[in-house]
Structure 1
Amino acid sequence: MFVGTAADILEFASETLEIEDVRKNHVLVYVILAVWTWSMLQFPLDLAVQHFGCSSSVSSKRVFSLLLSRHSADLWNIGISLFIQDGPFLVVRLILMGHFKVITQMLVFFTAKNILSVMLQLYRLIVLSLDFHASLRYQSSSRKGGVGCCPCDPNHISLPPNHCDIDGRECATIPLEDSLPVTAEC
């Protein structure tokens, strides 16, 4: 993945600027250099993922913060790809090919790579969204049945309050293996 990203960045700046028609257009050179500089922000913005505490009640106002607490690393990676790397590179390359009629093998190859990357990231975003909404539906239906779960951790399930652990807490959490349902006995 890093080799592909590095090749994409290298081609974007070096190969594209070597094209005679591109070098003659100073505005286009500045746009390419600006987008290339913008893409360099992805490296210092690669932050560590933080885990946030959660409560067992979910209101509609907290749904966005709940989504961020569950999938912050995935959303961060998708955002970096769409808004800092592949998205801007795709837009500039499509403008080069469509408006300025600049077509080279490398430009076509990396445009196809950017299209596939953007499609994959959008697919990942849709899957995360569907998974998140399904877990919220499961959580609300399990509460009606008397079983609650921590909304921040999809890999844990909480036992009903009558199954207290030794410390007397309201419920005990049991980690699930590979997110498969587990029945637990105290």
Structure 2
Amino acid sequence: MEMETNFSTYTNWAQILEQIMVLVLVVGRWLAPKGEMNRDQLTQLLLLYIGLGADILDMLNMIKTPGVDTNWQVAIAGLCLFSCALLQFTLVLTQSSDPPETNNEQDTQTPVNGSRRSCCASEVWSLLSGLCQQDGPFLVFRLYLSIGKQVIDELMIFFICKNALTVIIEIYRIIIIHVRHRRQNT
């Protein structure tokens, strides 16, 4: 009986510490120097971090579900995805800026650093980072767990839909940026 009580206390503290970790990452970014970002961009970044944190915490909870916790290969894959997703908190690629408005068409054709403007603006790198580090792999992992391992619940369905929708929107946004870039360079 005492052993069971100690284990449940440990489990509760572990969950609390996991949640505090994500909050510390968000608050730490808020208090860190903002560099070139204005307040609007910083608040967008912080809102994004809160969403990322919720998704990452759910990944940790999935690893603890019965059926997954006893399969060490699946648990290690989930922990690798968790670790990779945490790296996003070190990147500040989410800052985007509107394309400069020019009245002179020659300005849009002017080479920057000896070449035309890069097709991969910071917003594209941000989208690719989210797509490759979190939403894509999380979607695949969740689909594998739900279809292959029959681990499914309401929260899993919600996050599968969330990740699928996010992947679609990120790909759509990359296409929009690419099309806008091609129009500006023609």
Q: Same fold (TM over 0.5)?
A: yes
**Other-structure match for 1:36:** 82
Aligned with 2:119 (options 49, 67, 71): 67
Find the structure with the greater CA-based Rg. 1
Q: Measure, in 2, the Cα distance between the counterparts of 1:57 and 1:9.
A: 41
Which residue in the other structure is 2:146 paired with?
Answer: 97
Q: Per-residue deviation at 1:125?
A: 0.5
Q: Which of residues 2, 14, 19 in structure 1 aligns to 2:65?
A: 19
Cα deviation for residue 23 of structure 1 reads: 0.9
Q: Which has the higher helix share?
A: 2
1:117 aligned onto 2:171: no
Question: Residues 124 and 26 of structure 1: is their aligned pair in 2 closer, same or farther, counting only changes over 3 Å?
Answer: same
**Cα distance between partner residues in 1 of 2:94 and 2:175:** 23
Gap regions ≥5 residues in structure 2: 1-47, 96-107
Identity %: 29
Is the contact between residue 143 and residue 160 of structure 2 (CA under 8 Å) also seen in structure 1? Answer: yes
List gaps (5 residues or longer) in structure 1.
138-186
Give the C-alpha shift of residue 20 in structure 1.
0.7
Cα deviation digits, residues 29-73 of structure 1 (max 9, x gap): 100001101111111122597xxxx98259xx945x6323xxx22
1:45 paired residue number? 91
- Report the CA distance shift for 1:132/1:2 in structure 2 as closer, same or farther (over 3 A): same
Q: Indicate the SS of the match to 1:118.
A: helix
CA distance in 2, matches of 1:76, 1:111: 23
Q: How does 1:135-150 map to 2 (within 5 A)?
A: 135-137=184-186
Query: What is the TM-score with the length of structure 2 in the denominator?
Result: 0.61
In 2, distance between residues paired with 1:10 and 1:28? 17
Look up the match of 1:184.
none
1:9 corresponding residue in structure 2: 56
